[in-house]
Chains A and B, each alone.
Chain A
Amino acid sequence: MTSYLSALPIPRRTTHLVNATILLFADSLILLPIASSLLVVPMQPVSTASLGFHTLAVATLALSAFAAQIALLEQQWHRLLLALLGVAAWGWSLVHLHSSAAWATQAMLFGVLVSLTVRAPAIPSRRRYLAGVRRTTTRTSVFSRLPIAARIQLRILFDEHWPPTVLRLAIALGIAGCANFLFGVFNGDVRTLPAGIIAGASVALILSGIYRTLAEAHASMQRYAAALPLAKHFWLRRDLAMLSVLAALPFGVMLLSLFDHGIPATTCLKLALANLGLLMLLRLPLSFSRRQTALVGVMLAGGWSAGAMVAIH
């Protein structure tokens, strides 16, 4: 349908406007806390300059999230990268609060993000442009020796949907790295294990988005696969296994670091199993409520973290 739509004389600006409008509605729940923060900030006893800076910072953050989402939706990867770099610059400006450089950064960011959000993409995305002329070379012998189901999953994740997959893996590794740093700061005190629990839940939550990518890809072939003598929940079981393999590195980094900082091996092992359990549990929202998977996932991860905190006390 995408290629058919692109053949119709619909201006890119119109498509972009429709995408932006739908996103605004979809984001309404997330926009609530941002809107309330804009209401709360003026109530604080701060100077006008400080108030202006905070308002600008909140608006810029909301705009960068929106720009990143629309870039992802329209598969404009350079715009996504710009939005993410914007968040980094935003963080820097908060560290140098109230300086003229911080003001200039915030104002410039706001301008760039408005331009990114309002302007329709000028050229078709690379992915669509190359859709018909993709390479047909075979993979390495290692890849071809994997079971066919694993090869299909890897193609879905790293061939068809590589930008969100790589982004999720990078964020998960980033969280693991940050957690590692915190464990060093806490040096094995009472804050170490709760930090590990929260980091584990965050990694599981970030990686659980991969379930949707896999499930949506399998949906196209679901009817045909249903006519083949495949075991019940054939893809579900394989997707759970694939996610466990992908999560092994960030979970491994955190757990080894916890062990290094004096957390007993049995506790680390229990936490590893609990993390894997949560990762599998986060597949449930996709089976029961496709619309609110993110929200249900956050609630599940939150509940799991709270339960784990209670368990260690």
Chain B
Amino acid sequence: MLRFDKLEKSYGNRPVLQGCSGRFGTGAFALQGPNGIGKSTLLAALAGAVPIDGGEVCINETCLHANPIAARQLLAYAPDESPVYRFMRGREFLEFVARARGKAPDTLDDDIAECFGINTHMHTRFGAMSLGTQKKFLLAAAWIGAPRVLLLDEPANGLDAAAREYLATLLQRQSEQSTVLFSTHDHAFIAAAGATPIQMETLQAKSSPVA
């Protein structure tokens, strides 16, 4: 479902991704590794959020470089930190993502909004939201449009206990029909989500693990 080959990415003279390759089918996969090894860069590169210097990313045989719009229709990405305009309200953000995916503004599953507890923040500006609430909106937006591949950067960071528990259940449920790749340092969360741990070093070593 998600395939990437020989990804290269450098920041200035510092190479971060060097021949990074991997293949992931349906299921949940937890990307692990020390800080600064390139987990966030890999997830952003797979989502097309940062341009890569070389290599190829394909989702269901649709290549991100050759057919970016079609490939992005199939994936969803939630970064670690909120990149959303400070003035944007919760509902507007979800509407923007839904419109970008060609869906109606109220596409978000009521269950997700209710369980994350974001209904009360729909008219709150992102600049006035707590870190956890911003994160909940980013995660909720990732479920808009039934994506086939979910790329989540430290999804459990900043969430309260109830939201973490719900997210783990949600990831487990989603992994039955999609590829879910997320980065985390939390072993308990990996177990709760029923995810397979993947060490970042094994991808960098061009070992091309097939999961």
Contacts and interface: CB of A to CB of B under 8 A. Distances in A.
Interface of A: 131-134, 136-138, 147-149, 151-152, 155-156, 159-160, 217, 220-231
B126 to A, nearest CB: 10
Contacts of B77: 224, 227
Given A136-B128, A217-B85, A229 B96 contact: no
Interface stretch (B9-17, B87-95, B157-165): B87-95
Would you call the interface of chain B mostly helix, strand, loop, or mixed?
mixed
Nearest to B83: A224
Interface of B: 44, 47-50, 68-70, 72-73, 75-77, 79, 83-89, 92, 95-97, 99-102, 105, 123-125, 127-128
Given A136-B124, A148-B92, A224-B49, A229 B85 contact: no
A228 B127 contact: no
A227 B72 contact: yes
Contacts of B72: 227-230
Contacts of B95: 148
A223 B44 contact: yes
Contact of B88 (A138, A155, A227): A155
Contacts of B44: 223, 227
B125 A136 contact: yes
Given A155-B87, A227-B75, A228-B101, A134 B96 contact: no
Nearest to B84: A221
B96 A148 contact: yes
A222 B44 CA distance: 12
Given A131-B127, A138-B123, A230-B100, A223 B49 contact: yes
Contacts of B124: 136
A152 B88 contact: yes
Contact of B83 (A134, A149, A221): A221
B127 A134 contact: yes
Given A217-B85, A220-B83, A227 B127 contact: no
Contacts of B84: 221, 224
A194 to B, nearest CB: 42
Contacts of A225: 100
Contacts of A134: 125, 127-128
B125 A227 contact: no
From A155, A224, A226, A231, name the one whose CB has the most chain B CB atoms within 10 angstroms. A224
Nearest to B99: A148
9 contacts: A132-B128, A136-B128, A137-B123, A148-B92, A149-B99, A227-B75, A229-B68, A229-B72, A229-B73
A160 B101 contact: no
A152 B96 contact: yes
B87 A231 contact: no
Given A227-B47, A230-B72, 17 more contacts: A132-B128, A134-B125, A138-B123, A147-B99, A152-B88, A152-B92, A217-B85, A220-B85, A222-B83, A224-B49, A225-B100, A226-B48, A227-B76, A228-B97, A228-B101, A229-B68, A229-B101
B70 to A, nearest CB: 8
Contacts of B69: 229-231
A156 B84 CA distance: 13
A136 B123 contact: yes
B136 to A, nearest CB: 15
A147 B92 CA distance: 10
Contacts of B48: 226-227
A159 B125 CA distance: 12
Contact of B79 (A131, A149, A155, A223): A223
B76 to A, nearest CB: 8
Nearest to A133: B128
Contacts of B100: 225, 228-230
Nearest to A224: B83
Contacts of A222: 83
A225 B123 CA distance: 21
B95 to A, nearest CB: 5
Contacts of A229: 68-70, 72-73, 100-102
The 7 A-B pairs at the shortest CB distance, nearest first, are namely A229-B72, A227-B47, A227-B77, A228-B100, A224-B83, A227-B49, A223-B49
